[in-house]
Amino acid sequence: MTDIDHRKNSETPGVGEDSPGAGASGRSLGTRRGTGEPAERGRTTIADGVVAKIAGLAARDVVGVHAMGGGLSRTFGAVRDRVSTGTKPATRGVKAEVGEVQTALDLEIVVEYGVSIGEVARTVRENVIAAVERMTGLEVVEVNIAVDDVKLPEGEDDEDEDQERRLQ
């Protein structure tokens, strides 16, 4: 929230109590005037979560990205999804650090088997930077991408998953 200076400004005509046309409240009944352009009269802050959502949605749009988040966050997310509305949180696998004019992002992704990981990472980076800069006006200084897993084709299980089932 922006702090507003409530002091009387004697340099701006039509604002003080002694101004011609001032009403009983001491405010001018004439045209309201301020200093500077309307777009410059305040400050806009963007929360880390907003940037993370934009980045997460932009990353998911890339062909070859199967899911967002590392193994543990996906496991907890799957449990949370079953309990809640069933929608995937847009911020899963995304961490954003937002400053006044810049932001940096860390993404964890799972890629589809058979895709070029380097190409997918490059496309994710380009898509995320374009979306975040366009929507927020912040400069994206870095997008770090960690590929945490590969989604195998249906019917092909990891040895780890087989061992897990045997233990249960």
Kindly state the tokens that stand for 16: 């003080």
Report d(CA 52, CA 68) in Å as an integer.
Answer: 12
Report d(CA 113, CA 65) in Å as an integer.
Answer: 10
Question: Which region holds residue 81: left if phi is over 0, alpha if psi is between -120 and 50, else beta?
Answer: alpha
Instruction: Give the model confidence (pLDDT) of 79-118 as tens digits.
Output: 555 555 555 588 999 999 999 999 999 999 999 999 999 9
Residue among 159, 64, 48, 33 at smallest CA distance from 102: 48
The structural domains of the chain, ordered by start, are 48-153 (3.30.70.1350)
Report d(CA 52, CA 59) in Å as an integer.
Answer: 10
Report d(CA 141, CA 101) in Å as an integer.
Answer: 10
Instruction: Give the model confidence (pLDDT) of 17-46 as tens digits.
Output: 444 544 555 555 556 666 778 878 888 999
Statement: the pTM of the whole predicted model exceeds 0.85? no
